[in-house]
Amino acid sequence: MPAELQLMNKHVVVVGGGVIGLSVAYTCACRGHRVTLLERQPEKRGGCSFGNAGMIVPSHFIPLAAPGMVALGLKWMWNPESPFYIQPRLSWDLLAWAAKFWRAATPERVAEAAPLLRDLSLLSRACFVEQAASGLDLGLVQKGLLMLCKTAHALDEEAHTAAKSNELGVPAQVLDARATAALDPAVRMDIAGSIYFPKDCHLPPERYLAVLQRELTRLGVDFRWNAEVTGWRRDKERIVAAQTREGEITGDEFVISGGAWSPTVARALGVKLPMQAGKGYSLTLKQPRQLPSICAIFTEARVAVTPMDGALRVGGTMEIAGLSETINPRRVRGIIRSVPRYYPEFCEEDFAGIEPWAGLRPCSPDGLPYLGRTARWQNLICATGHAMMGLSLAPATGRIVEELVSENEPSIPLTLLSPDRY
């Protein structure tokens, strides 16, 4: 190893073993840094990184907090089978988060955030392609994504988004039902039309995580399972060590990438990361009646469908119900009922006996991740709050964290993503 690289080597302690934590660990280890990864769960773990739709989506440049979402959310929240649901409960954190969400859901904020999300997504896509080209068996499929619209009204609304997408340099095509069927003839659809985003991709998330973990082991990363962070040892403006039940882990740089549990970890350092856990569900048909070749989103139902190694994963909903991972059967039922509406060859009975998966997405109030250093601590970096975009933005997040650790200029300006913005 060159002497100049050795001089820059640091011990990086990454808190969180989901796709963001693994991606941070991977880029830092590839750069030559020593990495210890702390994960509160055992090695055979779950979490929102494993059962998601596996989509890589430059098309998703509009943040969750967007104009109209507040009214739509209020309409949906009274229906337990709707795409969005808030479990009624007395919680100051929830009320404060909702107020911040409302303030962020403006056209001006979206216009400011869209180019940033575009750049993050395109950087991530380039990283995925680079990883696949290097020989990593990711199962990456570069066939685009279809936004399937059941009604002409939805197609017209999505056409406006397609126009904005093209303005931002993310290609989008408006297709009628016949053109959509020609693009993916493997599945029969009952739709008015679609928007096709050719730059989007998909992969099996479980495979991607396994590949990352295998590469990290090869690179000498020190995995600490069942290592929940219970506190911190500090010295003036620096963190000295993360405290776990099995002892202290010292380091030069500390990265909080604990998903929905990140606010709890950060709170002990006086760092506020307003966040709500957005529970999502998925079901995987091992032998589907038909297997589309392109991943898709049912626009009105807000349900994602992804072909994965011969299986078909169907997932969706956003349920704000705290850190509970309990599965709500009515939420799952709403997902299942949407499938035959768009793919009429399927029926609800196809999902009988399939155990639903649930995971908690870390949702910031403005729909943007927390990414960057904090003003309070010289050696603390936050990389969390990616909501439904965790997998999609993971490689870009890892690269940016590595650039900060190596004291280089980040690839993308981080002002809007500052962990101190609230």
Residues of the chain with pLDDT > 70: what percent?
Answer: 97
Q: Nearest to residue 394, comparing CAs of 205, 200, 169?
A: 205
Contact indicator for 40, 261 with CB cutoff of 8 Å: yes
Contact indicator for 25, 216 with CB cutoff of 8 Å: yes
Res. 5: pLDDT tops 70 = no
Query: How sure is the predictor about 2, in pLDDT bands with cuts at 50, 70 and 90?
Result: very low
What pLDDT score was predicted for residue 45?
67
Query: How sure is the predictor about 3, in pLDDT bands with cuts at 50, 70 and 90?
Result: very low
Write out the DSSP string of 345-373: T--GGGGTTPPPEEEEEEE-TTS--EEEE
What pLDDT score was predicted for residue 16?
96
CA separation for the pair 224, 231 (Å, rounded): 16
Q: Nearest to residue 173, comparing CAs of 153, 155, 197?
A: 197
What pLDDT score was predicted for residue 46?
65
CATH class for the region spanning 61-118+137-201+275-362: alpha beta
Measure the CA dihedral 35/41/42/44, to 10°. -100
Res. 4: pLDDT tops 50 = no
Digit-coded pLDDT (tens) for 332-346: 999 999 999 999 999
Q: Nearest to residue 51, comparing CAs of 353, 367, 354, 395?
A: 354
Q: For 3-17, 90-104, 175-189, 279-293, which range has the lowest pLDDT when averaged over its residues?
A: 3-17
Residue for token pair 């679609």: 194
What pLDDT score was predicted for residue 67?
83
Res. 55: pLDDT tops 90 = yes
Query: How sure is the predictor about 173, in pLDDT bands with cuts at 50, 70 and 90?
Result: very high
What pLDDT score was predicted for residue 104?
93
Digit-coded pLDDT (tens) for 59-109: 999 998 888 877 777 777 777 777 888 877 788 999 999 999 999 999 999
Residues of the chain with pLDDT > 90: what percent?
Answer: 85
Res. 302: pLDDT tops 70 = yes
Contact indicator for 66, 117 with CB cutoff of 8 Å: no
Digit-coded pLDDT (tens) for 191-206: 999 999 999 999 999 9
What pLDDT score was predicted for residue 91?
87
Name the DSSP letter for residue 80.
Answer: T
CA separation for the pair 203, 201 (Å, rounded): 7
Name the DSSP letter for residue 100.
Answer: H
What pLDDT score was predicted for residue 339?
98
Largest Cα span, the chain? 65
Read off the pLDDT of each residue in 249-270 and give the average, rounded to a whole number.
97
For the chain, the first-to-last Cα distance in angstroms comes to 41
Structure token pair of residue 266: 């950060």
DSSP strand pairing (145-149 vs 229-235): unpaired
pTM for the predicted model, two decimal places: 0.95
What pLDDT score was predicted for residue 72?
76
Digit-coded pLDDT (tens) for 357-414: 999 999 999 999 999 999 999 999 999 999 999 999 999 999 999 999 999 999 999 9
Signed CA dihedral, 78, 259, 170, 107: sign only: positive
Give the chain's mean pLDDT: 94
Query: How sure is the predictor about 144, in pLDDT bands with cuts at 50, 70 and 90?
Result: very high
Q: Nearest to residue 257, comparing CAs of 5, 11, 12?
A: 12
- Residues of each domain in the chain carrying CATH 3.30.9.10: 61-118+137-201+275-362
CATH class for the region spanning 3-48+207-272+367-417: alpha beta
CA separation for the pair 254, 272 (Å, rounded): 16
Read off the pLDDT of each residue in 265-275 and give the average, rounded to a whole number.
97
CA separation for the pair 75, 270 (Å, rounded): 36
What pLDDT score was predicted for residue 64?
87
